[in-house]
A and B are shown apart, each in its own frame.
Chain A
Amino acid sequence: MRDVVTGAPGILDVSGLSIARNGKALLDVPHLCLDGPGPTLILGPNGAGKSLLLRCLHGLIQPDRGRVCQNGAVLNARHKARQAMVFQSPVLLRRSVAANLDFVLKRRSMPRAERKHRIESLLDEGGLGGKARQPARSLSGGEAQRLAILRALALDPETLFLDEPTSALDPSATQMIERMILRASERGVRIVMVTHDIGQARRLASDIVMMQAGRVVEHGKAMQVLEAPESDESRRYLAGGLVT
């Protein structure tokens, strides 16, 4: 158990990060420090590089240049083992809903009885209580997204990356997921999350990273970025977001 007040949350430090394909810069982040402890929300238009940045932070892709550090040390296998990620289009195993959760709990070598118990409480928490035996691939889009989030939480991560986790959810499911995310955050889990929902950013974020065309155009306290954005790009994005 980590102490929420004094324990150091996973500080993520990015320096000189760049990825280019076919002569086009997809990601160019000279410096970015995500030091929490509250949820970090990443906003920006389609193709801005948000998912790419998450992949780099999670160590899934090796950038062409630059590096990612966690708590001052270059991201290593031990860090990655304590990170979890919910992908923009989650991949569920071709097994039952319960087996998808059991898969990650087994990897944490949890004893059988405890796993069973944990699966039940996770499914209840995510509103999938009656669906334990259903093939995961037959879930609806929103149910699948919820299961993917539950599976990530089952890993009991220190850092949780979420790539638009509520994009396919109805308002009440969104609320349920937001509560789960906030609870995790209060337990000391570092949350880094991509969203297109400005209201969601307002509800969850302690700091906001605004991205555009592979660059971080603004990073600051949530209220400040939302109420008084400094960059033209942020202003335009937020204005567009308010219209819809």
Chain B
Amino acid sequence: MQSFASEFNQAISLILNGDAELWAIVLLSLRVSVFAVLISAVIGMPVGAALAVARFPGRRALIILMNALMGLPPVVVGLLVYLMLSRSGPLGVLELLYTPTAMIIAQVVLVTPIMAALTRQVVEMLAEEYSEQLRSLGVSRLASVPVLLWDARLALVTALLAGFGRAIAEVGAVIIVGGNINHVTRVMTTTIALETSKGNLAMALALGVILIGLAVAVNAMVSALTLRAEREGLRHA
């Protein structure tokens, strides 16, 4: 236990003293995950909204597929992206394997279905409520999409944060396509895995503390938003 206490002290001093390597890793993690989540939102939200509003044959099947994709095991996603990007793969010429871009791609594949599914759920509920009113105001089905997205904005930001939480905490996919290369593709989760196996617990613990702090911050933001939504909709929920 004594050794744990000293490792922990060391970890805290790494954080507080602004250890360059530690913070470089944190920054790379944030950069990769923020990019991935934004791209996922740009793809996933319109797809989710379209699935909520449009009526076409095969829509149910698509929704089931999308929900299934939400539960994709990250290592499998890593493997598939690896196969796409590897030298002999269809996208091999781009030479993206073992770069931060490859990690972003993997996280986009993981997070986009989440974004689309959550958006579909939220927008579909809202569309049901708004449908007659919007039709009465002369808003067509297609034109109702931006209206619904905007009015669902609080729930969508919550979805965004949920996606970020998943992306930043993910390890299986990014370690496969990123390769965990020092100073290039080492992010918080992959570094924790590596440093722990090397016995460098201080570094692993320091990153763990930051990761938990981020998770807490994200959840605090989600609950603050939920609270605000509830307060605004108090009477007509």
Interface residues of A (CB under 8 A from B): 55, 58, 60, 80-81, 83-85, 87, 90-95, 103-104, 107, 135, 137-141, 144, 155
Contacts and interface: CB of A to CB of B under 8 A. Distances in A.
Interface residues of B, number: 20
Contacts, number: 53
12 contacts: A55-B132, A80-B138, A84-B137, A90-B133, A91-B132, A94-B151, A107-B137, A137-B235, A138-B232, A139-B235, A140-B235, A144-B236
Given A85-B136, A141-B235, 5 more contacts: A58-B136, A81-B138, A91-B132, A107-B138, A138-B231
Contacts of A104: 137
Contacts of B132: 55, 60, 87, 91
Contacts of A84: 136-137
Interface in B127-157: 129-130, 132-133, 135-139, 147, 150-152, 154
B232 A135 contact: yes
Contacts of A91: 129-130, 132-133
B48 to A, nearest CB: 18
B57 interface: no
B234 interface: yes
Question: Looking at chain B's contact residues, is the secondary structure mostly helix, strand, loop, or mixed?
Answer: helix
Given A60-B135, A80-B138, A155-B137, A93 B232 contact: no
Contacts of A155: 137
| A-B complex: 8 closest residue pairs judged by Cβ atoms | A91-B133, A135-B232, A94-B151, A137-B233, A85-B136, A137-B236, A81-B138, A137-B232
Contacts of A94: 151-152, 154, 232-233
Contacts of A139: 235
B147 A93 contact: yes
Contacts of B130: 91, 93
